[in-house]
Amino acid sequence: MIVRLNALSKSILCAIALGGNLNNPAETFDAALTRLNDHPRISVTARSPWYTTPPMGPPQPDYLNGCALLETTLDSSELLAMLLDTETQLGRVREVHWGPRTLDLDLLLYGDSIIELPHLTVPHLGLGDRAFMLKPLADIAADWVDPRSGKTIKQLLQTIDCSEIHLAVN
C-alpha cells in the first residue's frame, strides 16, 4: 500500500518553474509533472498555463515556461535531487550555461523558508526579476509572499516588464 504524503510528516507547499526549448517542451513538462506526482511524497496540486519567452544567454530558440505547485514531505535538498533526477531522466544534458535544453526545473519557493546552502538557494535568486518565472507563478499563486522581499508574487510581477511573455497554445 502506498501512502501519499506521509501523515506523520508535515507537507510543505512548494513552487517550481519549468522551462525548455528543445524537442517538444509541452510534452516534456507533462512527463515531468507526471513523474513528480507519481512520487509517493510529492503531489502536484496546480500548474500554470505555458508561456513562450525569449531566451537568456546565447542565441537559441524561444523557451516554453510555466510553473507548478507541489505539496511534499521531502526536505528541500531531497526535492532538489528529485528535480535534477527528473531533468536527467527526461533528457537534460548540461553543456552550455544558459544554453538550450529539453527541461529545466527550478525550485522557486519552499513554504516560507529562506534556504542558503552551497547547492541550493530558496527563494530562487532570479525570482523577483524574471518575468518568465513570475507571470506563470502569479497565475497559480498570486498571493504567495516571497519570504525574502515580503512582497506577494502579484506585487513583484507589477514591477517588471512582461511584454515579451506570451501565452502559448496549450
Q: Which residue among 47, 92, 139, 146 is the active-site one?
A: 92
Summarised one tens digit per residue, pLDDT across range 135-163 is 999 999 999 999 999 999 999 999 999 99
Q: Which pLDDT score is estimated for 8?
A: 47
Q: Which pLDDT score is estimated for 144?
A: 97
92 is catalytic: yes
Q: Which pLDDT score is estimated for 137?
A: 97
Percent of the chain past pLDDT 70, that is, above it, reads: 89
Q: What is the 3-state secondary structure (H, E, C) of 156-169?
A: HHCCCCCCCCEECC
Q: Which pLDDT score is estimated for 56?
A: 82
Q: Answer yes or no: is pLDDT of 11 > 80.
A: yes
41 is catalytic: no
To 10 degrees, what angle do helices 25-38 and 76-89 make?
Answer: 140
- Mean pLDDT score of the chain, rounded to an integer? 89
What is the helix (H) or strand (E) element at residue 13, kind and residue range?
Answer: strand 12-20
Q: Which pLDDT score is estimated for 160?
A: 95
| 101: helix, strand or coil | coil
Q: Which residue among 106, 130, 139, 146 is the active-site one?
A: 106
Percent of the chain past pLDDT 90, that is, above it, reads: 71
75 is catalytic: no
Q: Answer yes or no: is pLDDT of 169 > 80.
A: no
112 is catalytic: no
Q: Answer yes or no: is pLDDT of 6 > 70.
A: no
Give the side-chain half-sphere CA count within 13 A for 68: 21
∠ CA(56), CA(57), CA(61), 5° rounding?
70
Q: Answer yes or no: is pLDDT of 74 > 70.
A: yes
Cα separation of 53 and 38, whole Å?
29
Summarised one tens digit per residue, pLDDT across range 39-67 is 999 999 999 999 999 988 778 899 999 99
| Domain range annotation of the chain | 12-167
Q: Which residue among 104, 130, 139, 146 is the active-site one?
A: 104
Q: Which pLDDT score is estimated for 2?
A: 39
Residue 22 burial class via C-beta count within 10 angstroms: exposed 0-12, middle 13-18, buried 19 and up: middle
- Residue 122 phi, psi dihedral angles, 5° rounding: -135, 135
pTM of the predicted model, to two decimals? Answer: 0.91
Q: Which pLDDT score is estimated for 170?
A: 59
Select 12-167's CATH number: 3.30.70.20, 3.30.70.270, 3.30.70.560, 3.40.50.10090.
3.30.70.560
Q: Which residue among 4, 41, 62, 101 is the active-site one?
A: 101
Q: Which pLDDT score is estimated for 102?
A: 83
Give the number of other CB atoms < 10 A from CB of residue 132. Answer: 24
Q: Which pLDDT score is estimated for 3?
A: 43
Say how far residue 63 (Cα) sits from the centre of its chain.
14
